[in-house]
Amino acid sequence: MDDLSSLRKNFSSIIVAVGPHQLKALLPDTPLDYSYQPIYTCYLQYPEQVKLPFPMLGLADGLVQWVFDRGTLLGEKGRLACVISAQGDHQQMSMDEIAGRCHQELKMALGLPAPQWSRVIAEKRATITSSVGLKRPSIETSGVFLAGDYTDPEYPPTLEAAVRSGVRAASKIA
């Protein structure tokens, strides 16, 4: 791409930290053939005194996998964030149905009152699908380094993998 070529003329190294679905526009010769998995986050606003026993809880046997106490973590008192990773039946539900289901699961697990409001955000290409033999792109090509969860050869595509890839790219340049 013209923009990347002009950067290469001015800098000895470049870190490209974009999602895999955005990479083709910058580096069209990078071989990528991924399918994607969604992540849904349901924000539930409860009264300010509502607080989880820990900043983060894992739940099992339901739709919700993780719950984050945004009051403890970010000062947003009474706000909980429920995370649902990967494909599933929830993709056929309306956002209101998802919010209702998240609240019901929290009510059963923690005895919470009704939320004041809710909002569901669906990131449809949040992460690549992990599979056996998943091919990762080369992280360096003549001074251009890739950083992103899809580049880490040892971890599945997670926040940890994204951080590791960024540190690895910066270390190679340093």
CA pair distance 151, 170, nearest whole angstrom: 14
Same domain, 28 and 83: no
Domain tally, the chain: 2
- Average model confidence (pLDDT) for the chain? 90
Selection from 140, 150, 136 nearest residue 18 by Cα: 150
Residue 142 has a pLDDT of 77
Q: Does the pLDDT value for residue 157 go beyond 70?
A: yes
43 and 123 inside one domain:
yes
Residues facing residue 80 across a β-bridge: 44, 69
Both 70 and 58 in a single domain?
yes
Strands 36-45 and 79-85: antiparallel
Domain housing 59: 36-128
- Predicted confidence (pLDDT) per residue in 67-79, tens digit: 999 999 999 999 9
Contact partners, residue 163, CB within 8 Å, separation at least 6: none
Identify the band that residue 81 occupies on the pLDDT scale cut at 50, 70 and 90: very high
How large is the average pLDDT for residues 38-50? 97
- Residue-wise pLDDT for 104-125, tens only, equals 999 999 999 999 999 999 999 8
Question: CA–CA separation, 131 vs 89, rounded Å?
Answer: 21
The answer on 136 and 107 residing in a single domain is: no
Whether 134 has a pLDDT exceeding 50, the answer reads yes
Are residues 41 and 110 located together in one domain of the fold?
Answer: yes
pLDDT tens digits, one per residue of 51-68: 999 999 999 989 999 999
Q: Which residues lie closer than 8 Å to 49 by C-beta, 6 or more apart?
A: 77, 78
Domain co-membership, 26 together with 61: no
pLDDT at 6 (0 to 100): 66
Do residues 65 and 98 lie in contact, with contact meaning Cβ atoms separated by under 8 Å? no
Q: Residues 111, 59: one domain?
A: yes
Residues 135-152 have pLDDT tens digits of 888 788 778 899 998 888
